[in-house]
Amino acid sequence: MAAIGCACCGGLSARAHASGGSAWSYEGATGPNEWGALGKEYAACSQGAAQSPIDLSAPISADLDGVAFRWPTETDGAVTNNGHTIQVNVPNGSAIKLDGTTYELLQFHFHHPSEHLLDGKPLAMEAHFVHRSSDGNLAVLGVLIDEGAENAALAPIWAAMPAHTGDGPVVSVALKDLLPADRTLFRYAGSLTTPPCSEIVNWVTFKTPIQASREQIAAFATLFPMNARPVQPLNRRFLLLGGG
């Protein structure tokens, strides 16, 4: 997940990917296995016990409330290539309510392949919708993406993707069309999936993937051949499955 600023994240810009601190990447000497050693601000990446992503397998069935969406039918989205992913920053006005707390949507972005595994297997891609509450905690909706039919809701974002680091245009985004019709979901407590790996995230990941075409997946992979953190141990956490 692309890191964003909050009271616990070293004062980064609220709508920016974590570009401050030590340089990090998805491979080699600055890759995921080394993140925790790149600087003390990234210590949680190696020392944390509630890290993300995880393998979504063997969940505990639970009577979970669904997510209450306060998303408009369409919103503006500023498309940017931040060097680690394609991110879409959105204006105020889109929010969810989860466990009685309201979280405002700040941005969403994409990973190739998926960061969360589904029963031990990665999917083609994954989208993360990053929401923040007034107290600085995060609720992130994970949407798995499988290869299939062309996704019309992704098309304007894909057409605007900058080939190099920098800002692209503002496009109209049909947010709810980027969600699966089946709202069965996994819930667990976790972290940002990029440095500083802060353990402040309420994860909600939908079990049913949406689809994108082979061409759409390939277009993203041309820019980011691999931008997914390996799965982390569940440790003493509970993985719940319910909703719908």
Catalogue the active-site residues.
84
Residue pair 129/103 in contact by the 8 Å Cβ criterion = no
Q: Is the peptide bond before 113 cis (omega within 30 degrees of 0)?
A: yes
- 166-179 core/surface letters (b: 16 or more CB in 10 A; e: else): eebeebebbbeebb
| CA pair distance 51, 197, nearest whole angstrom | 7
Residue pair 89/171 in contact by the 8 Å Cβ criterion = no
* DSSP bridge pairs for 98: 101
Please give the helix or strand (H or E) that residue 131 lies within, else none.
strand 125-132
| CA pair distance 48, 85, nearest whole angstrom | 24
Residue pair 72/94 in contact by the 8 Å Cβ criterion = yes
**CA 35 centroid distance within chain:** 18
**Residue whose tokens read 């050693």:** 37
Tell me the HSE value of 230 on the side-chain side, using a 13 A CA sphere: 10
Q: How far is CA 47 from CA 36, 156, 186, in A?
A: 7, 40, 24
